[in-house]
Structure 1
């Protein structure tokens, strides 16, 4: 039995696509919320068992692990310790956890919580008698369609703004990963038990790209003539602090602004070596998303 969390979410849907395309024939138990639209599960043709529950409830997580051999935890890194505890208790053989490369950030708010989570997981599994083998996957900035929380926002900004501010000239490096590539990676890790056992992988885009270059590609795909205005990091942080003060802390973009000036590129060589990870170019991936954005706007305007 394969247990999956987050299968109807942004990246989870691409894992589902891979399971369908590869005709996965094992039983799959999917945790969903009561309000979740599960039509994609109902119509997928796989051996799906839907279970409604709350991942904040330890007793629910423990119960849903019964009879499970492998758990693929995609939804929310903060639930990973409870997932691993329940997996160990129920002698689940394998847990694949989707975390984040934000663990490497120099800014404490972005990284400390994630470091503590992985430290807790190490503590839970650091025992020769532990029945559960752990694999951790760390995607970079995820994009791919209008459901993402990253490039979709930038696409809208470039589309709406004639003049667009960018931190430090947009010279910081990023390495966005397309959700389609993550779906393939999740499936390949699932099917590569021996090669990936006990390992941690960064899942990044094809190669690093400067933020200004990424924005320029978006602008070109939108057929816009955007003028980018460089804003010093210090000034951007100062404005973010003023905004936080004026809104009594309701709007806090301080660390988001700080991270705009931080290099966020990570090698995926180990993933390529172990399970053939081969992500698409940013140019190809963003072209797909911009086309979806344009189509969506046309349909909305009708």
Structure 2
């Protein structure tokens, strides 16, 4: 039996589409919340078993894993340690964990917690006599639909504002990954079999690195909107963020987010391509889809 968390979420829905397209034959136990939209699950014609529960409840997780041989945990990296610990307890053979390339950030607040989580997982595996096959997938900035929290914000901002501030001329590199490519990757890794139990990690990035300013220009072109980009030096951006934090008595703290705007966030997906044929779409194609969705939505307003 396959156990899935986060299947009704952004990239999880595309994973479900892959299961449907490939006519997955096994039973799929899906952990959902009471408020989850399960229409795609209900109409999938797959062998779906829905269980409502909270991943903060260890007893619930333990019960959900009875009879399970494979897990794909998409929902939240913070639950990964207890997922792995419980999987080992229940003799699960394979676990696929969706984490983040945020682990590579030079800023401690952005990366330290992720490093500690993966360290715990490694320790659980080493301390156990049970051999489990674990694959960690680390997506970069995820985009693809208006429900994302990344490109959708840029699209709205460029549509509404005539002037856009850009940190350090927007020269930092990013490598956004489309949720559609992640759904395909999850399915491929699910079907990918390793000869020996091991722990492997793969970065799942977009097709190629792209400068932030070029991302913004592509969006403005797709929106057919003329925008003036104003350069904000990093020092001034951080100073402004500190003032905002002070005025809000610490409630509005975006200092590190501003600092990260000057940090390169591009990572090679070469290992994923070599091992299981990962082949993400060009950003130009992906952003055209998302901007197209935005245009349709605006027409309905």
Does the alignment reach a TM-score above 0.5?
A: yes
Q: How does 1:31-50 map to 2 (within 5 A)?
A: 31-50=31-50
Q: Is the 8 A contact 2:167 2:261 kept in 1?
A: yes
In the alignment, the residues of structure 1 paired with residue 252 and residue 54 of structure 2 have an alpha-carbon distance, to the nearest angstrom, of 28
Structure 1 residue 60 and structure 2 residue 60: aligned?
Answer: yes
1:37 Cα offset (Å): 1.6
Q: How does 1:232-247 map to 2 (within 5 A)?
A: 232-247=233-248
In the alignment, the residues of structure 1 paired with residue 269 and residue 153 of structure 2 have an alpha-carbon distance, to the nearest angstrom, of 25
| Number of equivalent positions | 300
2:212 corresponds to: 211
What secondary structure does 2:60 align onto?
A: helix
2:88 corresponds to: 88
Larger mean CA deviation between 13-22 and 191-200 belongs to 191-200
1:198 Cα offset (Å): 2.3
In the alignment, the residues of structure 1 paired with residue 123 and residue 141 of structure 2 have an alpha-carbon distance, to the nearest angstrom, of 28
In the alignment, the residues of structure 1 paired with residue 245 and residue 61 of structure 2 have an alpha-carbon distance, to the nearest angstrom, of 37
Q: Is the 8 A contact 2:132 2:198 kept in 1?
A: no
1:5 corresponds to: 5
Cα deviations by residue, 1:140-195 (Å, 9 ceiling, x for unpaired)? 00000001000000111111111100100000000000000000000000000217
Q: Is the 8 A contact 1:203 1:268 kept in 2?
A: yes
**What is the aligned-residue RMSD (CA, Å)?**
1.1
1:271 corresponds to: 272
In the alignment, the residues of structure 1 paired with residue 68 and residue 235 of structure 2 have an alpha-carbon distance, to the nearest angstrom, of 50
Cα deviations by residue, 1:7-35 (Å, 9 ceiling, x for unpaired)? 00011000000000111111000000111
1:127 Cα offset (Å): 4.5
In the alignment, the residues of structure 1 paired with residue 19 and residue 198 of structure 2 have an alpha-carbon distance, to the nearest angstrom, of 20
1:197 Cα offset (Å): 4.9
In the alignment, the residues of structure 1 paired with residue 283 and residue 296 of structure 2 have an alpha-carbon distance, to the nearest angstrom, of 20
Q: How does 1:101-250 map to 2 (within 5 A)?
A: 101-127=101-127, 129-194=129-194, 197-250=198-251
1:297 corresponds to: 298
1:287 corresponds to: 288
Q: Is the 8 A contact 2:95 2:132 kept in 1?
A: yes
In the alignment, the residues of structure 1 paired with residue 20 and residue 253 of structure 2 have an alpha-carbon distance, to the nearest angstrom, of 41
Q: Is the 8 A contact 1:92 1:131 kept in 2?
A: no
Cα deviations by residue, 1:202-259 (Å, 9 ceiling, x for unpaired)? 0000000000011000000000111101101111111111111111222111111111
Structure 2: unaligned runs, 5 residues or longer? none
1:128–1:65 CA distance, 2 compared to 1 (3 A): closer
1:55 Cα offset (Å): 0.1
State the TM-score, normalizing by the size of structure 2.
Answer: 0.98
In the alignment, the residues of structure 2 paired with residue 107 and residue 171 of structure 1 have an alpha-carbon distance, to the nearest angstrom, of 18
In the alignment, the residues of structure 1 paired with residue 127 and residue 70 of structure 2 have an alpha-carbon distance, to the nearest angstrom, of 19
State the TM-score, normalizing by the size of structure 1.
Answer: 0.97
